[in-house]
Structure 1
Amino acid sequence: MYLNDRLVRFAFPVSLLLSTTLVLAQPATKPKPTKAPASQSVSAPAKAGFDLSKPIPTDPAVKVGKLPNGLTYYIRKNAEPKNRAELRLVIRAGSVLETDEQQGLAHFMEHMEFNGTKNFPKNELVNVLQSAGIRFGADLNAYTGFDETVYQLPVPTDSANVFRQAFQILEDWAHNATLDPKEIDKERGVVLEEWRLGRGAGQRMRDKYFPLILNNSRYANRLPIGKEDVIKNFKPEVLEQFYKDWYRPDLMAVIAVGDFNVNEVEGIIREKFSRIPAVPNPKPRTEYDIPAHKDTKVVIVTDPEQPNTVVQVIYKRPEIKERTLNDLRESIKRGLFNTMLGNRIQELTQQADPPFLFGYSNYSDFLGNLDAFTSVAVAKEGNVERAIRAVLDENARVKQFGFTETELARAKQEFFTGVEQAYKERDKTRSSNFVNEYVRNFTDKEPYTSIEFYYDFLKKEQATIKLAEVNALVDQFIRNENRAVVVMAPDKDKDKLPSVEQIISYIDNAGKGLTAYKDETLNKPLLAKEPVPSPVVSEKPLKDIGATEWTLKNGVKVVVKPTNFKNDQILFSGTSYGGTSLYALKDFMSARFASTLATLGGTGEYNQIQLGKFLAGKSVSAFPYIGELNEGVSGSAAPRDLETAMQLLYSYLTQPRKDADVVKGFLSNQKSALQNQINTPTPARVFQDTVSVTLGNYNPRRMPLKPEDLDKIDLDRALTIYKERFANAGDFTFFFVGNFDEKTLKPLVEKYLGGLPTNGKPEKFKDLGIRIPAGQISKTVYRGVDPKATVQLVYSGDFTWTTDNTTQLDALAEVLEIKLIEKLREEESGVYGVGASAIYSKYPVPRYTFRIGFGCAPENVEKLIAKTQELINDLKQKGAAQGDINKFKAETRRETELQLKDNQFWLSYLANQYYNDDDLNEVLQEDEHLKKVTVESTKEAANNYFGNNFARFVLMPEQKASTSTASQQGGGKQ
C-alpha cells in the first residue's frame, strides 16, 4: 500500500487535493499539535504552574534505546487488548529518496518484503501468520510514504513461538529480503494493478497541479506509486541498490507495544537486530524542502470525469516544530481556532440557500517542511465565486472582528472533554493507539508525552489562553506570500470558470461589508415538560452473557449489560419493526428522508445550531433513524452525561422540530450534488448504479436517487411519518452496554424510556417482495477513459437461517478469498486486491448474497473470471484445503477474543440477536460451530451456495480511443 502518513494524519487539505470525490461531512477540527496522547503511565504530582521554556517531557512508560549499529527501539507494556502486541518496523526512507530510475521502487520494495526473505521463502511469511490468526491486509500490512516506509504486524503474545517468530519477520524485513528476480517479475503485475486502481480524474488533475502547488520540489515528482515504465522495466539490481542504500540500521526503528515483559522484548530486539551490520560509509539521507514563493500560484484543472467544482486556497507556512511547553500551549490555541472557525463555516450550510455544498478552513500539516492554513469550498451549481467568497469571508470576519468569548468557552469545553476522556481511559487504551506516536517521533521528531502530563498541562494552561491570543492567529495564518489556489472542475464547465486574475481578486477582495458574528444561544431546559415515569415490572437475568432484560410497565423492553471494557463509555440503541416498508410508494421519499429532516430541525425549542452549542463539552450523541424494515435510535454517552443523553433521546422521539429553511437548504444542496453526478457521472458511480438496480430487480425503491425525487418530499408528511414511527415505544427494545451501575441506570430508564408514548399495537414490517432476480445475468458497462476494469460476481438465493449455516457461509467466503489471493494475485499477477464476502439476512425472508470483486486490466477480465470459476468448481468437487480451514478458524477465534471485550460488538450483537429472535448464547458456542467446518462441509456449502442464480457485472473502458483530457490553466501574481 502506498500513502503518505502526513497526508493522512492531519490531512484534510492535502488529502482532498488527492481526491475529487465529495464528502458531505463536517471537517476534522483537531489541532496539528502533539495530540492528546494515549498513555497509562504515572506522572509527577500536579504542579502549580509550568515553565513554558522547558522541553515537552517524554512519556516515562516508553523504554527507548539505540543499538551500537544505530537502530532505535521503542518498547511499552500495555495490556489492552490482553495477549496482543502491535509491532512496527519503521524505515526513515520513502519515495523522495528515489533516483530517476528508481521511481516507484520504495513502494515496490515494500511489496517484495512479503515475497520472500531468508527465513520465509516466497509467500511463506503470509502463510505462517494466517495460520496464527493474523489476516493479510486487515492486520498484516505496510505503507510507503514520501519520507518513510512502515511495516505493521499485530501479533498474539500468548504463543511464545509465534511472538518470537514475529520479531524474526521484522528482522528479515530489515536486512534479509531475498529479492528473487522471478518473484520481482511476478510482483510487477501486482504493483501495476495497484497503480491502475489509482488512475482516474483525481490522478490526472493531481499530475497537473502538484508541480505548481509544491513549487516543482522533489515531492512534486516523487509520488510513492511511481511511474509505469519504471515498474515494468527496472532491472533487479536497481531495486537491490535502493534496499542496500536505505534499509540500514541508522534509519530504522523497531516499535513494540503490548501485553508482554518489556525486558524480555528488549532482549529479543537486541539479539536479533544487533546482527544487522552498520553501514561504514552510509549514503547521506537528504532532507528535501518545498521552496517558498512570493507570488500566488493558481492552477485550474478540468476533467471529463470530475463531478463537481472544488476550490482550495492554501496559505503555506514553515512547519511548526513542537519542542517546548510553549509550543504545546500554542498547539492548543490552534486547535481552539480550528474548532471555532469550523463551527462557523458549518453553520453556513444550515440556511435556506447555502453558498456551497461543503466548505471548511483550518490549520494543519501540509507536506515536507510546510504546514498550511487551507480553505476549501465545493461550489454549488459551479458558482466558484459565491462558494469561495463565503468561506473566505468567514476567515475575514475573524480577522476583522475576532471570535467571541462564548465561542471560546465552548471550544475550550469541547477540547478539554476530549482530552479528559482519553485521560479517563488511560488504563484501557489500545496498543494500536500508541504505536503511531512513536512512529512520528522517529520519522518527524514529534514529541510524545503521557496523557497524565498533557491532561494536567491542559487543565492549567488552557484557562490562561485569552481570546486576543487566539484571534491573533489569523494574521499568522493568512498572508499573501507562499499562497496557492487549486480549482478542479468538470470539463463541460471549462468555459464558465473564472480566470486566474479573477480568482486572485476573489481572494484579495474578500471580507467587504461584513458584520460581526452573533453567537445566538438558547438557555432553556431541553425538555419543557418532564416525562411521566413507568416502572420496571419484570426482570429476566441473562446470566451466561452477563446481561439483564427489563420490561417496563409501558411495554418497553430494555437489555442492559454493564462492562468494564471502557471507563468513560456507555453505548445504547433501540429498535422496532416497521420502517419505510409500511408506506406506499407515493410516500416513499418522504419516509426515506423523515428521520434526516426531523433531526435537521433540531429538537424541542432548540434549532440544530443551538442544540450543538447546548451539547458542547458534553460527551453525548443520539441519532434516530428509519430503515426499510425497522426504525430506531443509536447513541452514546460518558457516564456523567448519561441523563443528558436520555433527555436527548426522549426529546428526539417525542418533540421533533420543524425547520423549513434548514430543510430547504439541505434539499437544495442534495439536488445540486445529484445533478453534478448526473451531468458528469463517474464510471464507478454508473457501474454501482447498474449493479444496484439490477440486483434490486428495478424496483422503484432500489433506483438511484435523482434530483426530481427530492421534489416528491413533503416536509409535513415526512414529520408525520416520523411521529408515527416513534408513536408506540411499546414494541421497542433498547440496549445499554458500557460502564454503568444498574441501580443508577434504572431510574433514568424508567423516567425517559418509561415516559415514551405507547398504544399497545405491536407492528411488523411489510415484505415488499424485492429479490435479486433468479437465473443468469450478465451486464457490461462501458464507461471511463482509463485502461482499467472492475468485476463483480454475485451468487444469491434462499437461505435456511441457522448458526451452522451462517458459519459455513463465512468459512466459504474466507477459504475462497485465500485461494483467490493465491491464484489471481500471487500466481497470475493480475490483481492488487480481491475480495469474497457472504451477506445473509433473516428478514423479510431468509436470503444470502455471495459477492466476489476485483479490479484488473481490461484484457485480463475473461481470464481472471475463468480462474475464479475454476476455484469455485474445485471447491465444489473437493472442498477447501484443510490448511485454509485452519486459517479461517484461527482468524475467527482471534477476532472473537477481541470482540468479547468490546462494547460496540456487544451492542450490535444483542440488538441483532433480539431482532432476529436468535439464541443469546450463540457467541459463547462458537467453537462448537467451528468444529463443524470441515473439508466435506465446505464442499457441501460450495454446492449449495454457488448455484444457478448468478449475476456477472463488468465495468470496461469506453470503446473508443481516448487519452487523458485533463486541461490546465496556470499563472502567478505578486
Structure 2
Amino acid sequence: MNKLFSQLLVALLLPLSLSAQTMETDKSYRMGKLENGLTYYIRHNSKEPNLADFYIAQRVGSILEEPRQRGLAHFLEHMAFNGTKNFQGKGSSLGVVPWCESIGVKFGTNLNAYTSVEQTVYNVSAVPVKREGIVDSTLLILHDWSHFLLLNDDEIDKERGVIHEEWRTRRAGMAVQRMMERVLPVVYKGTKYEDCLPIGSMDIVDNFPYKDLRDYYQKWYRPDLQAIIVVGDIDVDKMEQKIRRTFADVPKPTNPAERVYYPVADNDKMIVAIDKDTEQPIMLVNLYMKQEATPDSEKNLVATARKSYVTELVTSMINSRLADIKRQATPPFHSASVGAGQFLISKTKDAFSLSFGCLQENVKGSFQAAIAETQRARLHGFTESELQRAKAGFLKAAERRYTERNDRRNRYFVKAALQNFLASEPITTAEYDYKLMQQFDKEVTLADVNKEVAELVSNKNQVLTIYAPDKPNFPIADAKTFEKYVLDAQAKKYEPYKEESAGKQLIVKLPKKGKIKSEQNWGKFGAKKLVLSNGVEVYVKPTDYAKDQISMRFFGEGGTSLYPDTDALNFHMLTSAITDAGVGKFDNVQLSRMLSGKSVRISPSIGYETQAINGNSSVKDLQTLLELTYLYFTAPRKDAEKFKGSIATMRSFLKNREANPQVAYNDSVSAILYGNHPRLQSIKTSNIDRVSYDRIWQIYNERFSDASGFKMVLVGNINMEKLRPLLCQYVATLPSKGKRDTVKDTYPAVRNANETHTFKKKMNTPSTLVSIFYTFDEPYTAKADLALDVFKRVLTIAYTDSIREEKGGTYGVSVQSELDRNSKPTTLIKIGFRTDPAKYEMLMPIVYRQIENIANNGPLAESMAKVKTYLLKAYQQNAITNNYWDYVIYNNLRHGVDFHTGYEDLLNGITAQDIQQIAKDMLKSNRRIEITMMPE
C-alpha cells in the first residue's frame, strides 16, 4: 500500500516539477540595471575581431501614440539621426551619421533603427573598438538617443518630406500594405490596434505641431523602458564601468506614465475582413484561430519550451503535407502554410494561422484543399513516420547550432538579448538548447503532438482576412460566402493521412570509381587543386570559419548563350521545371522525405554564361550533396504532368499581374534599353503556351551531358581524407566527352542612345519612378571593378545629402554598377529613385548636377575617406566567411581576376582622380537613357 502510494505521489509530482523548472541562463552575458532603471546586457564575442555591436532597445512603439500623434513614434526614430546633445551636426560638432561614417560605420547598413507597434530599436553595428575614444563616442550616441535628442524645428520640417516619401515607397510597391491598413480596423474594431501601424497618417506627419513630437519623446523615451546591449570583441568589465558612467545622468522619471499592453477580445462569431486592390495579382487568404499568449512570467519555464517544441513539430508536419500538395502535378492553390505565434500585430494575443493563395479559376477549391489538411490533422493526428522526420529536422538544427556555437557573429547574441528584454524570452546557450532538444526528442510522443494539434486547430475564435485583386474578370464573393467556405470545409469528414514510403538510398547502383589524377597546392588563396580522371578540376579551400558548413559550386561555360533567341521563354522556366520534378527515382515529394533530417541544399541552374549545380551542406551531409550533384548531372527526372500543372498555376498568377505599375515599368525599361529584344521578353498570359517542356528537357540534358571543362569549388570545414573517396565516387564518374564550350556573344547590348522616355500609368499610390542608365567602356580589371564600387558609394552619399536630407525628396536614391567583360559596353551604372510627382522637376537637375560636380571637381575628400574606411572594414569582416572565399575563387577561375590579393593596397591606391575619371567617362560616352513613369 505504501509503495503504491509513493509511486502515485511521484507520478503526480513529475508534471509539477517540470512546470516549475526554469531554463538555464547563458552566464556569458553580463546583465544589470542602473539606479535610474536602465537595463544593460554585455557579452564578449571574439568571432569578429576588433568589432562590436551597440544597441539601444525601447519597449515603446506606435501603439502608445495619441490620435494626434499617429506616425510620430516612427518620426522620432528618424530624428535620432538629425541632431543630439553631443552630435549636433553644426559648426565643429559632427552629426551622428557623419561621425559614424568617418569610422567606417555605414548609414543604412551598420547604422540604423526600426519602429514597430510595440518597440523601437537603434543600432550602431560593426564598430571598430580598438580605440577607446571610438567606444566612448559610440556609447555617447546611445546615451543621447536615450534622452538627449535636440528635435530642432528646422530638422523636423526637413524630415517630414523624407517620411512622406518612405510612406510613398512602401505603399506604392505593396498592394498588401495598403489593404492591411484598411483591414485592421475591421479585425481590431474598437481597440488601439485598429489604427496603429508605425508609418502613421501623412496628414499628421506633414502638419503636426512640434510640441506633439516632443511630448511623445518626453513621455516614453526613459530609462525604465530602455536597454543598452553591447556585444563584441570588448572587455566586459571595462564596458560595464563605461555604461554605468555614461548613462548615470539619464534622469529617472518621476510619476511615469504606465506602459500598458492592450488586450484583444475573443469573438464567438467569425470576423471576416475583405479588401481589394487593382494591383494585387492573386487572392491571399489568412485564417486565424486566436488563443491566449504565453504570459511573460512563464516564458522561462522548461514546460513552456517543451510546449513550444511540440507546437513547432505540429506546424512543421502540417506544412510538410501542404508542401507535398503544392508539389503535385495540378496543385489546388498557389501556396499554403501554417504558423503559430503572435496574432497579426498584437503582442497580447496569439493565434494558429493558415495562409494560402487561391487559384482564380477555383477559389472555393483552394479554400477546401488548404483547410482540409488542418482538419485532417485535427481529426486524425499524424503518423509516426511524420513525427520522426520532423524530430530529426529539429534535432539536426539544434546539433548544428551546437557545433557552430563558437562561430556566431555578434548579431546572433544581440538578437538573444533583444528577445529577452523586449519579449521576456530566455537567454540560453547552444549547449543547453541541444541538451534540452535531445531530452524533448526522447520524451515527446505521437500522443503529445496529436493532443496539441487538436488544441491549436480549435475552429473557434476565428478571423478571416482576404486580400483580393480588384478586377472585372475576378468577381469576389461576400463575407457570408467566404465564411461558409470555411465552415463547410471544417465540418467535413476526412480520411486519415496516408503516405508512400520513400526509398532509403539516393543511388542504388554505384558507378565504378574514378581517380584523382593529380593533387597539388594551387598556389592561390590557400586552396588545393585536384584534377580527376574525367578532367574535372576541383578547388578545395578548407576553413574553420563555420564548423558545420561546406559550400559547393560546380559550373561549366556556355549556359544559354549557346541557344537562339527563340528559346528565351524556355529559359524562364528551365530551373523550376527540372527541380520541381525531383531527381533520379524520387519525385519531389519523395525527395523531400528522403532528405528530412539532413542539412543539404542544392539547385541546378542555367544562366546566360554558365550551367551550374550549386549547394551547401553540413559536414556530415557532404556525401549527400555530392550524390545529388551526380544525380542532377546523370539522372534528372522528367515529369511532364507536373510541368503542365506548373504552367496552369503560373497562368493563373499572370492573369492579374500585368496591372501592377512596377511590372509595367520593368517591362518598359527592358524594352527601351534593349530595343524590344526577343531574348529579354517576359512571360505573359499571351505567350506562356509557347514554353516547351520537351525543349527545356533537351537544353538541360545538353548542358549537363558532358563534364568536360567543369570546375568545382568547395569551401568549408573539409576533411581531405574523407573528401577524396567521395570525389572519386561521385564527381570523377561523371560523363566526359572532351568537348569544352565557351560563352557566345548572343546577349543584347544596351542601345547606343542619349534619350529621355516618359510614360504614364494608373496607380493607387501616385508616385514618380525614375531610372537613369549610363553605359560606357572600362577595362575589366580588379582595380576598375573596385573603383566603380567606390564611385557608386561616393555618388550615393552625395544623393543622400542633397536629395534625401536637404530636399526631403525621396526615401533614398539607389546607385548600382555593373562591370562585365562580356557586355558591350562593359560598364553600366543605374541611378533610380521614387518621389512625389510634384517634386520631380525640382530633383532631376540635382541628380545630374551631382555627377557633373564629381566630373568637374572630383569627389569630396571626406566622402572618399568614408567609403574607403567602410570597404576596408567590410573586407576584413568578409574575409573570415566561406561565402567570401567561394566568390573570390569562382571569379578567379571564371574571369582571371584576383579580388583578394593586395586588396588593401588596391583600395588605398584608388585616387580621387580615378573616381573623377569615371564620372567623366559617364558624361562623355553620350550613352544615357532616362526612363520615367508618372501617374495618370
TM range (shorter): over 0.9
- Whether 1:166 and 2:146 are equivalent positions in the alignment is no
Is this contact kept in 2: 1:84–1:259, CA < 8 A? yes
- Whether 1:263 and 2:263 are equivalent positions in the alignment is no
- Whether 1:934 and 2:934 are equivalent positions in the alignment is no
Any idea what SS the aligned residue of 1:150 has? strand
- Whether 1:757 and 2:728 are equivalent positions in the alignment is no
Q: 2:190 aligns with which of 209, 216, 228?
A: 216
1:544 CA displacement: 4.8
Paired AA for residue 558 in structure 1: V
The farther-off stretch of 370-379 and 890-899 is: 370-379
Q: CA–CA distance in 2 between the matches of 1:814 and 1:551?
A: 41
- Matched residues, percent identical? 34
> Within 5 Å, which residues of 2 pair with 1:249-260?
249-260=223-234
Aligned to 2:560: 580
- Whether 1:377 and 2:344 are equivalent positions in the alignment is no
- Whether 1:204 and 2:178 are equivalent positions in the alignment is yes
Paired AA for residue 133 in structure 2: N
- Whether 1:126 and 2:103 are equivalent positions in the alignment is no
Q: CA–CA distance in 2 between the matches of 1:863 and 1:903?
A: 46
Paired AA for residue 464 in structure 1: E
Q: CA–CA distance in 2 between the matches of 1:691 and 1:658?
A: 36
Distance 1:73 1:663, change over 3 A: same
Aligned to 2:29: 62
Aligned to 2:800: 821
Q: CA–CA distance in 1 between the matches of 2:575 and 2:707?
A: 16
- Whether 1:952 and 2:926 are equivalent positions in the alignment is no
Any idea what SS the aligned residue of 2:653 has? helix
- Whether 1:186 and 2:164 are equivalent positions in the alignment is no
Aligned to 2:664: 686
Aligned to 2:114: 143
1:784-842: CA deviation from partner (whole Å, max 9, x where unpaired): 13232111111112331112211221111011000100000111111111121211112
> Within 5 Å, which residues of 2 pair with 1:682-761?
682-761=660-739
- Whether 1:880 and 2:847 are equivalent positions in the alignment is no
Is this contact kept in 1: 2:277–2:470, CA < 8 A? yes
> Within 5 Å, which residues of 2 pair with 1:853-892?
853-892=832-871
1:524 CA displacement: 4.4
Larger RCO (alpha carbons 8 Å, 6+ apart): 1
Any idea what SS the aligned residue of 1:593 has? helix
Is this contact kept in 1: 2:750–2:775, CA < 8 A? yes
1:658 CA displacement: 1.2
- Whether 1:350 and 2:327 are equivalent positions in the alignment is yes
1:121 CA displacement: 1.1
Q: CA–CA distance in 1 between the matches of 2:676 and 2:58?
A: 52
Distance 1:543 1:764, change over 3 A: closer
TM-score by length of 1: 0.91
Q: CA–CA distance in 2 between the matches of 1:711 and 1:50?
A: 64
Q: CA–CA distance in 2 between the matches of 1:620 and 1:931?
A: 40
> Within 5 Å, which residues of 2 pair with 1:86-485?
86-122=53-89, 124-154=95-125, 155-200=127-172, 201-321=175-295, 322-366=299-343, 367-381=346-360, 383-485=362-464
1:478 CA displacement: 2.7
1:113 CA displacement: 0.7
1:837-865: CA deviation from partner (whole Å, max 9, x where unpaired): 21111225561110111111001112211
Q: 1:837 aligns with which of 816, 826, 832?
A: 816
Q: 1:660 aligns with which of 634, 640, 643?
A: 640
Paired AA for residue 601 in structure 1: A
Any idea what SS the aligned residue of 1:468 has? helix
Q: CA–CA distance in 2 between the matches of 1:628 and 1:501?
A: 51
1:593-649: CA deviation from partner (whole Å, max 9, x where unpaired): 333222222111111111111110011122111111210111111111111111111
Q: 1:538 aligns with which of 518, 542, 548?
A: 518
Distance 1:794 1:591, change over 3 A: closer
Paired AA for residue 21 in structure 2: K
1:333 CA displacement: 0.4
Aligned to 1:32: none
The farther-off stretch of 561-570 and 587-596 is: 587-596
Distance 1:492 1:596, change over 3 A: closer
> Within 5 Å, which residues of 2 pair with 1:906-925?
906-919=885-898, 922-925=899-902
Aligned to 1:607: 587
Q: CA–CA distance in 2 between the matches of 1:708 and 1:786?
A: 28
Is this contact kept in 2: 1:297–1:483, CA < 8 A? yes
1:391-440: CA deviation from partner (whole Å, max 9, x where unpaired): 10111111222110000000000011111111110011111012122112
Distance 1:513 1:493, change over 3 A: farther
1:198 CA displacement: 2.5
> Within 5 Å, which residues of 2 pair with 1:765-780?
765-780=743-758
Aligned to 1:528: 508
Distance 1:67 1:382, change over 3 A: farther
Unaligned runs of 5+ in 2: 1-15
Is this contact kept in 2: 1:534–1:552, CA < 8 A? yes
1:190 CA displacement: 0.9
Q: CA–CA distance in 2 between the matches of 1:166 and 1:673?
A: 49
Q: CA–CA distance in 1 between the matches of 2:140 and 2:200?
A: 30
Is this contact kept in 1: 2:566–2:679, CA < 8 A? no
Q: CA–CA distance in 2 between the matches of 1:787 and 1:519?
A: 51
The farther-off stretch of 602-611 and 740-749 is: 740-749
Is this contact kept in 2: 1:347–1:609, CA < 8 A? yes
Any idea what SS the aligned residue of 1:939 has? helix
Any idea what SS the aligned residue of 1:790 has? strand
Paired AA for residue 148 in structure 1: Q
Aligned residues: 907
1:518-561: CA deviation from partner (whole Å, max 9, x where unpaired): 12122242113212333222234234511111111211011100
1:697 CA displacement: 2.6
Is this contact kept in 2: 1:361–1:391, CA < 8 A? no
Is this contact kept in 2: 1:550–1:558, CA < 8 A? yes
Is this contact kept in 1: 2:775–2:825, CA < 8 A? no
Paired AA for residue 841 in structure 2: E
Is this contact kept in 1: 2:69–2:213, CA < 8 A? yes
Aligned to 1:40: none
Any idea what SS the aligned residue of 1:427 has? coil
Is this contact kept in 1: 2:537–2:710, CA < 8 A? yes
1:494 CA displacement: 8.4
1:931 CA displacement: 2.6
Aligned to 2:497: 517
1:384 CA displacement: 2.1
Instruction: Give the RMSD, CA atoms, in angstroms.
Output: 1.8
Is this contact kept in 2: 1:671–1:707, CA < 8 A? yes
Distance 1:745 1:331, change over 3 A: same
Unaligned runs of 5+ in 1: 1-48, 959-974
Q: CA–CA distance in 2 between the matches of 1:583 and 1:694?
A: 23
TM-score by length of 2: 0.94
1:480 CA displacement: 4.2
Aligned to 2:6: none
